[in-house]
Amino acid sequence: MSFDEEIRIRTAHCNDVILKFLPLEEGYAKEVIEAMNYSVNAGGKRLRPMFIYETNKMYCGRPEICEPFMAAIEMIHTYSLVHDDLPEMDNDEYRRGRKTTHAVYGQGMAVLAGDGLLNFGYETAIRAFEAADNAEETENIAQALLLLAANAGIYGMVGGQCADLVSENEKIDDSTLLYIHKHKTACMIESGLQIGAILAGAPSEEVRNLGRIGEDIGIAFQIQDDILDVEGNIEELGKTIGKDAVEGKNTYVSIHGIENAKADVRKRTDEALKLFDGLSVKNDFLRELMIKLVERTN
Binding site for ligand GRG (CB under 6 A): 44-45, 47, 80-81, 83-84, 96, 157-158, 161, 184-185, 222, 225
Nearest approach, Cβ of residue 294 and ligand GRG (Å): 12
Measured CA distances, 255 to 63, 167, 187 (Å):
43, 14, 22
Three-state DSSP at 99 gives strand
Residue nearest to ligand GRG (CB): 44
Nearest approach, Cβ of residue 208 and ligand GRG (Å): 23
The region, left, alpha or beta by phi > 0 then psi within -120 to 50, assigned to residue 85 is alpha
For the beta carbon of residue 130, count every other beta carbon within 10 angstroms.
10
Nearest approach, Cβ of residue 83 and ligand GRG (Å): 4
Nearest approach, Cβ of residue 280 and ligand GRG (Å): 28
Q: Residue type at 29?
A: A
Give helix then strand counts, H and E, for the chain: 16, 2
Nearest approach, Cβ of residue 222 and ligand GRG (Å): 6
Q: What's the rounded Cα separation, in Å, for the pair 271 and 216? A: 7
Q: What is the CA radius of gyration of the chain?
A: 19
Q: What's the rounded Cα separation, in Å, for the pair 1 and 223? A: 30
Q: What's the rounded Cα separation, in Å, for the pair 93 and 102? A: 8
Name the DSSP class of 24.
Answer: P
Q: Which is nearer to ligand GRG, 83 or 206 (CB)?
A: 83
Residue 241 parent element (H or E): none
Nearest approach, Cβ of residue 182 and ligand GRG (Å): 11
Strands 94-95 and 98-99: antiparallel
Q: Which is nearer to ligand GRG, 51 or 59 (CB)?
A: 51
Q: Which is nearer to ligand GRG, 140 or 250 (CB)?
A: 250
Q: Which is nearer to ligand GRG, 87 or 203 (CB)?
A: 87
Q: Which is nearer to ligand GRG, 15 or 283 (CB)?
A: 15
Nearest approach, Cβ of residue 206 and ligand GRG (Å): 24
Nearest approach, Cβ of residue 251 and ligand GRG (Å): 10
Q: Which is nearer to ligand GRG, 140 or 185 (CB)?
A: 185
Of 213, 202, 196, the C-alpha closest to 56 is: 196
Residue 214, C-beta contacts closer than 8 angstroms, at least 6 positions apart: 51, 186, 189, 190, 191, 192, 193, 194
Q: Which is nearer to ligand GRG, 83 or 102 (CB)?
A: 83
Name the DSSP class of 59.
Answer: T
Q: Which is nearer to ligand GRG, 33 or 157 (CB)?
A: 157
